[in-house]
A and B are shown apart, each in its own frame.
Chain A
Amino acid sequence: MNRYYWILGAFAALVVLLAVGLNLNPREVPSPLVGKPAPAFRLAVLGKEGATMGPEDMKGKVWLLNVWSTWCVSCRQEHPVLVEFSRNGQVPVVGLNYKELRGDGEIDMRRVPPEQEVPLAVKRAQGWLTEHGNPYLLTVMDIDGRVGIDYGVYGVPETYVIDKTGVIRMKHTGPISPQVLKDKILPLVAELNR
């Protein structure tokens, strides 16, 4: 009888292990960038001819860097949440438009003349913000995705919370839901602003 309890116990332990393991989100890979300074970049600002922006411009503020694209389906889901959130303007959100043309599987880049890539990307991004609302303080254009690589972007949308000294304090992969905003992002921002 005793050994059956033992087997039952081992089986229960296995069930618990699998239950925990299978409920983890394999998409949520912990970012090694949390706790490190936000990687430097200097990119063209969408809609402002000749203007550039980098993380150091935001020193002294707690801000969000939101990686998005018009081809990204989950971004569409997240967008209204960001628009609503940006209304009260308590936290500046900077948009990082990630591979606007190159990331779009439906575009054959061999057919796009190199000199037309940037204007086309700008047009698409601007059109999208006009149509769906613009929650961003400004958006920078990461045409070739190099800055995305520095930030370890692997699935758009992604959002980084960056503190006053320019250190990344949190990374959220996937769309921001009202729940995530309320439970994860806002408490952290409040703490960092204190």
Chain B
Amino acid sequence: MNCARILFLVLSLLSTAAYASRTNEAAVADDPVAEKRLQELSKELRCLVCQNETIADSNAELAVDLRREIRGMIHDGKSNAEILDFMVSRYGDFVLYRPPVKGITMLLWGGPLALLLIAILAMRSYLKRRSQQTAAQAKPLTAEEIRRAEALLKENEEK
């Protein structure tokens, strides 16, 4: 069991090392500025084949093609906005890791905020109710109770 685990660890380390060298190899190009832009842009874009990876991370065929496409557009002097538009016009907003705020993405952007608001309101009403309850319980002592309390205190002093 342990042996298998170590083997697995070693293998996974080896495979990430191999993977890293491959991406580095692809990143080594003539123009470091363009290459940096390519890296930044690829991190903004989702690979639609393996939907939870960026184009920068993915080694899927399509990601490789799209990186090539972006590199071409950078060389043609296209701006970042133009390149992102190119992608969105083909693959839709889903290709962006940071989707734009608009009608259809309202729930996505506003949802967490709305939940937080609901939680705050619920918390407030709960706290209010509880403080009312404790206030209701904290009635002033009756004359009889005061007399008993004093008696107890006196008893204590005498000891």
Residues on A lying within 8 angstroms of B by beta carbon are 26, 29-33, 99, 102-103, 105, 145, 149-152, 154-155
Tell whether A29 pairs with B92 under 8 Å between CB atoms, given A102-B61, A154-B48. yes
The smallest beta-carbon distance between A32 and chain B, in angstroms, is 4
Task: Report how far A149 CA is from B61 CA in the complex, Å.
Answer: 12
- How many A-B contacts are there with CB distance less than 8 Å? 38
Task: Report how far A68 CA is from B87 CA in the complex, Å.
Answer: 22
**Which stretch from B36-44, B62-70, B143-151 is at the chain A interface?**
B62-70
Which single residue of chain A is at the shortest CB-CB distance from B46?
A: A29
Would you list 24 pairs from A and B whose C-beta atoms are within 8 A, ordered by A residue?
A: A26-B51, A29-B91, A29-B92, A30-B94, A31-B92, A32-B88, A32-B89, A32-B90, A32-B91, A32-B93, A33-B90, A99-B61, A102-B61, A103-B61, A145-B65, A149-B90, A150-B90, A151-B90, A152-B90, A152-B91, A152-B92, A154-B48, A154-B62, A154-B91
Which chain A residues border B91 with CB–CB below 8 Å? 29, 31-32, 152, 154
Task: Report how far A96 CA is from B144 CA in the complex, Å.
Answer: 96
* B49 within 8 Å of A (CB atoms): yes
Residues on B lying within 8 angstroms of A by beta carbon are 48-49, 51, 61-62, 65-66, 69, 88-94
Leading 5 A-B pairs by shortest Cβ distance: A154-B48, A152-B90, A32-B92, A29-B94, A152-B91
Task: Report how far A151 CA is from B89 CA in the complex, Å.
Answer: 9
Contacting B49 at CB < 8 Å: which of A149, A151, A154? Answer: A154
Task: Report how far A99 CA is from B49 CA in the complex, Å.
Answer: 15
Task: Report how far A40 CA is from B89 CA in the complex, Å.
Answer: 14
The smallest beta-carbon distance between B121 and chain A, in angstroms, is 13
Label chain B's interface by main secondary structure. helix
Given contacts A29-B94, A149-B65, 7 further A-B contacts (CB under 8 A): A26-B51, A29-B91, A32-B89, A32-B92, A32-B93, A102-B61, A154-B48
The smallest beta-carbon distance between A100 and chain B, in angstroms, is 12
The smallest beta-carbon distance between B96 and chain A, in angstroms, is 12
The smallest beta-carbon distance between A75 and chain B, in angstroms, is 15
Which chain A residues border B93 with CB–CB below 8 Å? 32
Which single residue of chain A is at the shortest CB-CB distance from B118?
A: A10
Task: Report how far A105 CA is from B69 CA in the complex, Å.
Answer: 20
Which chain B residues border A31 with CB–CB below 8 Å? 91-92
Which chain A residues border B90 with CB–CB below 8 Å? 32-33, 149-152
Which chain B residues border A102 with CB–CB below 8 Å? 61
Contacting B48 at CB < 8 Å: which of A103, A105, A150, A155? Answer: A155
The smallest beta-carbon distance between A106 and chain B, in angstroms, is 12
**A155 and B92 within 8 A (CB):** no
